[in-house]
């Protein structure tokens, strides 16, 4: 075998036994370090899951949404308006949409009802992908709905197979459930009922010439701003929302929250780094003696540094694995309960959603560079100090 490799394996072996000999001291570092990594990794997993969801929300929203305003409130918009926009160059498609909230008096729950025009909305392609196995959304056929998981739960409790809803005049209408959304998209779909736009009009008693808003799809993203301006000029009295405006609002709210939490975590990290530095620089007389013995026996400064390096790698490696594993369990099985206060905005809106983070390599690397690298950097100076204990202090009678 290559002798440099053997040398490093020997030194690694020595580092392991050296860690084990000082297990009391190292265990405390390990516990604190694992805790810090646990916090950073849980936070990262939660934000990752939320960002992914939020991004997919944005991806499925149209580039421009047009709403009619009256006295500062949103009211129904005539579908005719879309004809006035047809002349604007660059618009790919204008699709009316009906949506609203439905209060179920029996269970006291609020549902979101979304009525979409069959076959015309790009969103539909994605819809079938986010349904649980076996579910299918029939475009265009009336009387069929796909629902979120919490609505299915309510139906199961009632033991009914048809979803019965009441029109404003209290007459009943029933829908056949053809699909249920996957848990991964719970945050979006937990309380969602998707149906044909005409069914939605029927349910909310909206005249067939009206819609809640108009979704405008634009082919070229660089033209969105111009087209939005033209729309608001063509249709006075409407509110024109672009996706990037929604995005920006989201960024401000979400960025503030995650930034605030990051700063808190950085404080924890700093405290830990100071602790690590302190622990590593406190060189006991025994350790000093050990190093001077090693050096007089022919160990180079570089060899002792290698021992310290491997000790650091071992401690941070173990802490990293422990911390990340606990964080995954925390987020997936305990719903990130420690971060509830930070996520309060979401947990109020969606009281019960499951976070399903995808732990990818880049997430590992991010957590690694936020935790292990500062630790290694904090221990390098103390490691060198200990490695530069002179050999002659092992001799007597100087």
Q: What residues from 242 to 281 belong to the interface with another protein (CB under 8 A)?
A: 243-244, 247-248, 251, 255-256, 258-259, 262, 266
* Entry field: residues in the chain: 398
Residue of 205, 271, 344, 395 that binds another protein (CB under 8 A): 395
Q: Nearest approach, Cβ of 87 to another protein (angstroms)?
A: 24
Q: Map tokens 């056929």 to a residue.
A: 141
Instruction: Rank residues 51 and 174 by Cβ distance to another protein and give the closer one.
Output: 51
Give whole-number Cα distances, 102 to 168, 187, 200, 213, 227, in Å: 10, 18, 11, 17, 33
> Which tokens belong to 379?
């221990």
Sign of CA dihedral 80, 82, 88, 89: negative
Give whole-number Cα distances, 108 to 102, 352, 368, in Å: 10, 15, 46
DSSP 3-state of 153? helix
Residue of 103, 333, 334, 384 that binds another protein (CB under 8 A): 384
Query: Binding string, 220-239, against another protein, x = CB under 8 A?
Result: -xx-x---------------
Q: Nearest approach, Cβ of 259 to another protein (angstroms)?
A: 3
DSSP 3-state of 67? strand
Instruction: Examine residue 377 and tell whether it contacts another protein (CB under 8 A).
Output: yes
Instruction: Rank residues 212 and 386 by Cβ distance to another protein and give the closer one.
Output: 386
Instruction: Rank residues 322 and 391 by Cβ distance to another protein and give the closer one.
Output: 391
Q: Nearest approach, Cβ of 92 to another protein (angstroms)?
A: 16
Query: Binding string, 26-65, against another protein, x = CB under 8 A?
Result: -----------------xx--x---x---x----------
Residue of 72, 159, 168, 298 that binds another protein (CB under 8 A): 298
Q: Nearest approach, Cβ of 59 to another protein (angstroms)?
A: 9
CA gap 9, 294 in Å, rounded: 17
Instruction: Examine residue 381 and tell whether it contacts another protein (CB under 8 A).
Output: yes
Residue of 85, 154, 294, 327 that binds another protein (CB under 8 A): 294
Instruction: Rank residues 124 and 380 by Cβ distance to another protein and give the closer one.
Output: 380
Instruction: Examine residue 21 and tell whether it contacts another protein (CB under 8 A).
Output: yes
Instruction: Rank residues 140 and 390 by Cβ distance to another protein and give the closer one.
Output: 390
Residue of 140, 207, 317, 390 that binds another protein (CB under 8 A): 390
Instruction: Rank residues 63 and 199 by Cβ distance to another protein and give the closer one.
Output: 63
> Which tokens belong to 27?
């265990």
Residue of 319, 355, 370, 386 that binds another protein (CB under 8 A): 370
Q: Find the DSSP H helices in the chain.
A: 3-21, 23-60, 81-85, 123-129, 149-158, 186-189, 197-204, 224-234, 243-281, 285-296, 301-333, 344-349, 361-387
Instruction: Examine residue 336 and tell whether it contacts another protein (CB under 8 A).
Output: no
**Region at 139 (left for phi over 0; alpha for psi -120 to 50; beta for the rest):** beta
Contact (Cβ atoms closer than 8 angstroms) between residue 60 and residue 123? yes
Instruction: Examine residue 129 and tell whether it contacts another protein (CB under 8 A).
Output: no
CA gap 232, 217 in Å, rounded: 15
Instruction: Using DSSP bridges, classify how beta strands 172-180 and 144-147 pair: parallel, antiparallel or unpaired.
Output: parallel
Instruction: Examine residue 300 and tell whether it contacts another protein (CB under 8 A).
Output: yes
Q: Nearest approach, Cβ of 156 to another protein (angstroms)?
A: 36
Treating both helix axes as pointing N-terminal to C-terminal, what angle do 301-333 and 361-387 enclose, rounded to 10 degrees?
150
Instruction: Examine residue 92 and tell whether it contacts another protein (CB under 8 A).
Output: no
């Amino acid at each position: 075998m290559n002798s440099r490799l053997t040398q490093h394996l020997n030194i690694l072996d020595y580092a392991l036994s050296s860690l084990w000999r000082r297990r009391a001291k190292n265990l405390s570092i390990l516990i604190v370090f694992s805790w810090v990594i646990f916090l950073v990794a849980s936070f990262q997993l939660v934000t990752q899951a939320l960002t992914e969801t939020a991004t997919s929300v944005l991806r499925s929203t149209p580039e421009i949404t047009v709403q009619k305003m009256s006295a500062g409130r949103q009211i129904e918009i005539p579908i005719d308006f879309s004809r006035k926009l047809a002349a604007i160059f660059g618009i790919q498609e204008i699709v009316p949409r009906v949506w609203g909230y439905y209060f179920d008096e029996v269970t006291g729950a609020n549902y979101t009802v979304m009525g979409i025009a069959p076959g015309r909305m790009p969103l539909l392609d994605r819809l079938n992908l986010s349904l649980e196995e076996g579910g299918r959304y029939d475009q265009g056929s009336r009387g069929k709905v796909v629902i979120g998981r919490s609505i299915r739960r309510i139906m199961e409790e009632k033991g009914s197979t048809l979803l019965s809803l009441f029109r404003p005049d209290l007459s009943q209408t029933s829908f056949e459930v053809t699909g249920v959304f996957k848990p991964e998209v719970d945050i979006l779909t937990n309380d969602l009922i998707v149906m044909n736009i005409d069914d939605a009009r029927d349910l909310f008693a909206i005249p067939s010439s009206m819609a809640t808003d108009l979704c405008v799809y634009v082919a070229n993203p660089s033209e969105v701003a111009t087209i939005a301006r033209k729309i608001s000029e063509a249709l006075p009295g409407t509110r024109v929302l672009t996706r990037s405006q929604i995005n920006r609002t989201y960024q401000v709210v979400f960025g503030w929250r995650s930034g605030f939490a990051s700063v808190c975590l950085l404080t924890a990290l700093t405290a830990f780094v100071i602790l690590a530095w302190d622990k590593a620089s406190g060189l006991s007389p025994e350790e000093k003696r050990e190093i001077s013995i090693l050096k007089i026996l022919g160990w180079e400064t570089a060899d002792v540094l290698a021992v310290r390096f491997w000790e650091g790698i071992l401690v941070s490696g173990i802490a990293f694995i422990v911390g990340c594993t606990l964080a995954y369990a925390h987020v997936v099985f305990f719903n990130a309960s420690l971060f509830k206060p930070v996520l309060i905005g979401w947990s109020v809106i969606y009281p019960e959603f499951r976070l399903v983070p995808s732990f990818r390599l880049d997430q590992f690397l991010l957590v690694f560079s936020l935790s292990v690298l500062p630790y290694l950097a904090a221990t390098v100076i103390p490691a060198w100090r200990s490695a530069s204990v002179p050999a002659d202090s092992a001799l007597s009678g100087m």
